[in-house]
Amino acid sequence: MEFFIDTANLDQIKEMQELGIIDGVTTNPTLLAKEGAEPNEQLKKICEIVKGPVSAEVIGLTTEVMVKEARELSKIASNIVVKIPMTKDGIKAVKILDKEGIKTNVTLVFSQNQVLIAAKAGATYISPFIGRLMDNSQNEIDTLWEMMEIINAYDFKSKLLVASIRNARHVVEAAKMGAHVATIPFAVLEKMFKHPNTDKGLEAFLKDWEKLQNQLKNK
């Protein structure tokens, strides 16, 4: 399973990149707005840190504008993947961009039928927003299983990129079903490292080691 980090913050990206655990980055207009920098400059900096896929989203709503924006975004760096919203115009744009060899990430996906349509259009990645499904009292895990079944049933080339992850359990569930990618917020990545027994165990080992050293000194 590939791990992407779901942020546009350079410090967070650098920290996880240095740990060697991330394969790519996803951004969206909200995440870029949080950083307050010129978006294309920020994306360029992100692409310099991470060599894997970096998702950047179009703002336009018509196929024509989306395709134009996608061509511009893909000039920022060779690892840019263009995020396209799951609309009729978006799907038309995905087909055009696929033919041009521009990688796409169909975003704001909430249903199994949307996955099927995006896969048929030739999306490189498809991003179901599981946290927002959960917020809407829908069973996000069952929905995700069915999405994965659909991708596997027809051997589509699209990769399921699990997005809107809210907790470490979401990552486990995505991994259990063999989802290709999980895009994970920094805070959740941090939690995935930790278990209270790891800290307690380490403390006890070090204490016992020190005890032994003192015993040996006093022999």
In the bound complex, which residue of the shown chain has the CB atom lying closest to ligand E4P? 164
Minimum separation from the CB atom of position 165 to ligand E4P (A): 7
Angle between helix 112-121 and 140-154 (nearest 10): 30
Q: Which residues contact 184 (CB under 8 A, 6 or more apart)?
A: 3, 4, 5, 6, 165, 171, 192
| By CB under 6 A, residue 163 contacts ligand E4P | yes
Question: What residues are paired with 56 via a beta bridge?
Answer: 82
* 70: Cβ contacts below 8 Å, ≥ 6 apart: 58, 82, 84, 93, 97, 102, 104
Q: Check 83, 95, 194, 219 and give the catalytic one.
A: 83
Q: Which of 81, 151 has the CB closer to ligand E4P?
A: 81
Among 7, 12, 17, 26, binds ligand E4P (CB under 6 A): 26
Considering the complex, state which of residue 6 and residue 140 has its C-beta at the smaller distance from ligand E4P: 6
Does the protein bind ligand E4P through residue 131 (CB under 6 A)? yes
* Residue 129 contacts ligand E4P per CB under 6 A: yes
CA dist., res. 65 & res. 36, Å (int): 24
183 binds ligand E4P (CB under 6 A): yes
Closest CB 29 distance from ligand E4P, rounded Å = 9
Choosing from 74, 114, 158, 164, the residue that interacts with ligand E4P (CB under 6 A) is 164
Active site residue 45: no
Q: Which residue has the tokens 């790519």?
A: 24
44 touches 70 (CB < 8 A) = no
Rounded Cα–Cα distance for residues 16 and 123 (Å) = 27
C-alpha to C-alpha distance for 32 and 19, rounded to whole angstroms:
23
28 sits near ligand E4P (criterion: CB under 6 A): yes
Active site residues: 83
Residues of this chain that bind ligand E4P (CB under 6 A): 6, 26, 28, 107, 127, 129, 131-132, 163-164, 183
